[in-house]
Structure formats: C-alpha cells, structure tokens
C-alpha cells in the first residue's frame, strides 16, 4: 500500500540569480539552505547533508520519546547528535555517526532497549534499506 502525502514533504526554490542559497519549505517551516564558502556558498543555512542528518536525529528523538511514553518510563531530556561523513574506502561510503544521550532515571536495561529502539526509527530504516526516487518534469 502506498501512502501519498497531502502536500509535498519539502519544496525548495532558488532565486534564479546563480547563487546556491535556497529557500526551503518543510512542513510549516520556511528557512534558508546554503553551502559552505569552500563549496561556493555563504554558509547562511544547513546544507543538504545537514538536513538529512537532522531528519535522522529528529526521527530518532521522537521515536524514543513515543516508546518511553508508551512504556511509562521516566525518560528525561533526549539529545541526539548526528554527523555525516564520507569514507570512500567503506561500503557504503556515506556514514552517519549517531550519538544518543538519555536523561531521566532509567535503569541499564531501559537504556539498552532505547538504543535498540533508536535502530527502528523510520528514517534509520529508510536510510539503511535504501529508497527509490522517481523524478519527473513538472
């Protein structure tokens, strides 16, 4: 079964003036994306890899929160840091390093289970399984 979104998940526009700064609409938010100066940008916003890493961090955080709530576990603040790197000697070459910090009065078994649950967040599963991209001219 295919679930179709009611609207595009993200829309990006550039000014048409030749710069790499873009205006991103994602959900109800609008913000600027850019590249670093070494890549020809002005570093005014996140680059595409930052956005992908943010999606993984956001999904991980929300998945952990929902699971802990369902179990009535005393999960405090959740902090997820994701760093993207590329290692051409590895397969796959794109690597996301994810570090999860769990606050609250959790025992070691709960903490271990939450790390297992982090591996089940939908964006993690999508990235590790791969995705199909269908492109068409509008």
CATH number, domain of 87, equals 3.30.300.20
Question: Quick one: 40 and 53 in the same domain?
Answer: no
**Mean pLDDT throughout 26-49?**
94
Is 42 inside any structural domain?
yes
Question: Quick one: 39 and 54 in the same domain?
Answer: no
Question: Quick one: 59 and 28 in the same domain?
Answer: no
Question: Quick one: 59 and 98 in the same domain?
Answer: yes
**Mean pLDDT throughout 36-52?**
94
pLDDT at site 138:
87
What is the per-residue pLDDT across 13-24, written as a single tens digit (0 to 9) for each? 997 888 899 999
- Kindly state the helix (H) or strand (E) to which residue 109 belongs, with its residue range: helix 108-118
Comparing CA positions, the residue from 50, 60, 69, 52 lying closest to residue 122 is: 60
**Mean pLDDT throughout 42-58?**
96
What is the per-residue pLDDT across 29-38, written as a single tens digit (0 to 9) for each? 999 999 999 9
pLDDT band at 5 (very low <50, low <70, confident <90, very high): low
**Mean pLDDT throughout 36-63?**
96
Question: Quick one: 59 and 93 in the same domain?
Answer: yes
Question: Quick one: 54 and 115 in the same domain?
Answer: yes
Question: Quick one: 66 and 122 in the same domain?
Answer: yes
Question: Quick one: 90 and 111 in the same domain?
Answer: yes
Question: Quick one: 21 and 33 in the same domain?
Answer: yes
Counting the structural domains of the chain, the total is 2
Say how far apart CA 44 and CA 33 lie, in whole Å. Answer: 7
Show the domain range for 5: 1-46
Question: Quick one: 56 and 122 in the same domain?
Answer: yes
Task: Looking at mean pLDDT, say which of 19-23, 41-45, 57-61, 129-133 comes out highest.
Answer: 57-61
Is 90 inside any structural domain?
yes
Residue 113, judged by CB atoms within 10 A of its CB (0-12, 13-18, 19+), counts as middle
- The answer for residues whose C-beta is within 8 angstroms of residue 64's C-beta and 6 or more apart is 75, 78, 100, 102, 114, 117, 118, 121
Is 136 inside any structural domain?
no
pLDDT tops 80 at residue 68: yes
- Kindly state the helix (H) or strand (E) to which residue 11 belongs, with its residue range: strand 10-14
Question: Quick one: 36 and 55 in the same domain?
Answer: no
pLDDT tops 70 at residue 71: yes
């Amino acid at each position: 079964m295919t679930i179709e979104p009611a609207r595009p998940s993200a829309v990006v526009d550039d000014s048409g003036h030749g710069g790499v700064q873009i205006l991103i609409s994602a959900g109800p938010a609008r913000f600027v994306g850019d590249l670093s100066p070494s890549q020809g940008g002005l570093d005014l916003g996140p680059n595409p890899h930052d956005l992908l890493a943010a999606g993984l961090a956001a999904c991980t955080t929300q998945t952990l929160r929902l699971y802990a709530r369902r179990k009535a576990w005393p999960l405090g603040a959740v902090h997820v840091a994701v760093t993207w790197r590329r290692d051409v000697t590895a397969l796959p070459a794109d690597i996301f390093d994810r570090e999860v910090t769990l606050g609250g009065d959790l025992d070691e078994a709960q903490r271990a289970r939450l790390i297992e649950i982090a591996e089940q967040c939908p964006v993690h599963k999508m990235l590790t399984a791969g995705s199909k991209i269908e492109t068409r001219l509008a």
